[in-house]
Each structure stands twice: as structure tokens, then as C-alpha cells.
Amino acid sequence: DGGITQSPKYLFRKEGQNVTLSCEQNLNHDAMYWYRQDPGQGLRLIYYSQIVNDFQKGDIAEGYSVSREKKESFPLTVTSAQKNPTAFYLCATRGAATNEKLFFGSGTQLSVL
Amino acid sequence: GDSVTQMEGPVTLSEEAFLTINCTYTATGYPSLFWYVQYPGEGLQLLLKATKADDKGSNKGFEATYRKETTSFHLEKGSVQVSDSAVYFCAGGTSYGKLTFGQGTILTVHP
């Protein structure tokens, strides 16, 4: 079954703790993205990667880190430096021939304990 | 930088009413424009798109026309259903695939 899998669906972070959100895709897409969604606001781009072993900062990268060691995987780490991490996190992919259409995962809700 | 301004909600309508959600964009160059829909607790799904001026995107009874002269991409549907209740996002992007999103409009349709 093709698609984007984000896990876990719900995640809780203790103060001072780093947590990692998983994003896996079997669509064979080169580009992958992480967006943050806050209630009543649009999506804001955290990081994106257009190819393996390369990634770029988005608009709100501070307090986050990513890696892209495999085409299929683009994990996002929310570090302790991110002081307001509570949000809904969405992973997305884009293939070369899809004219900028993004495919989205079902999201991870991160909350602070 | 690029920006997308979307009509603020929430919007509440009765079933079979006419829907318009306004969206305007500011960008360098000529972005492709999109409407995405998000149901509770889920990711976003592409509803429709337009890639150049005067293009009309349409899907599931929804339509939007890329108006270069007014830099707009308003979403319309002639007769909404309860199942259309969701959050709608307007977005614009260049060939690098980075999309800029509007703030979203919550639509609630009552029977």
C-alpha cells in the first residue's frame, strides 16, 4: 500500500528532552518536507530535503534538526531548544513529475508534559 | 517573500448553500496555486490546482480560477454538503516544490 507513514500519531515530551518524529515513504519521491501546524494558523515549513544527504532550513528551523540518510526516510528531531513544541507536525513528499503537488502524511500531534 | 492571504473563518453554512472562500497571493514569478482540504486529525489532501493564468481547477464540485490580474484563486462550490465540513487551505509554490500556505478556513455545514 503506497503512501507516507508518520509515527507515532501522538507523542509527549518532557521538559529538556529531545524527541524524534518518524516519516517514511514508499512513493519513491525525491523531495520531502516537514511542516508545523498550530491551531488557527497555516502550515509553516521547518525543513525540506530535495535529495538524499542534503536538506535545507525552512522558515522556522530553530530548535529542530533532520537527517536524510535514505530516500525513504526523513526523521525530524524536536530538541530541547524548541521552547514551544506543542503542535501538529506534518510530513510531505513530492515527486519529480507531479508539478509541485505535495502528498501529506496523517500527522503527529506533539504535546509537552 | 511569497505570501498567501486567505479569508478568515470560521464559515458556517446550511446544506445546499453557495460557498466562496477568498484567497490572494503575492509571489515573485508565476507560482502554481492549490487548494488543500484537511479533515479532523488527518493530513492535507489536494483538492484542486491551477498552474497558469486563467486555468480553472475543479474537483468534487469545487472550482477555482487562477486570476493573474487580481492575483486571486477563490474557491467556490455551488451547493455544499455536510460532508464538506473541513479546513481548507490555499497554497502557492514555485518549481522547487516549497509551498506557502494560507492560514486555513474552517467550514462547517449544517443539515
Q: What is the pLDDT of residues A34-45, one digit of tens each?
A: 999 998 778 999
Task: Tell me the three state secondary structure of residue B80.
Answer: coil
Give the whole-number percent of chain A exceeding pLDDT 90. 77
Q: Beta partners for B45?
A: B37
Mean pLDDT value across chain A: 91
Inform me whether the pLDDT recorded for A48 exceeds 90: yes
For A94, residues 6+ apart whose C-beta sits below 8 A from its C-beta are: A29, A30, A31, A32, A33, A100, A101, A102, A103, B97
Contact B94 A100 (CB under 8 A): yes
Preferred mutation among B7, B44, B45 to probe A, highest tally of A CBs within 10 A:
B44
Note the pLDDT of residue B58.
96
pLDDT along chain B (111 residues), means of 10: 84 97 88 91 90 92 92 96 95 77 94 94
Each residue's pLDDT tens digit, B40-63: 888 899 999 998 889 999 999 999
**Residue A100 pLDDT grade (very low, low, confident, very high; cuts 50, 70, 90):** low
Inform me whether the pLDDT recorded for A1 exceeds 60: no
Preferred mutation among A43, A59, A94 to probe B, highest tally of B CBs within 10 A:
A43
Residue pair B35/B57 in contact (Cβ under 8 Å)? The answer is yes
Question: Which residue in A has a C-alpha nearest to residue B104's C-alpha?
Answer: A42
Note the pLDDT of residue B96.
60
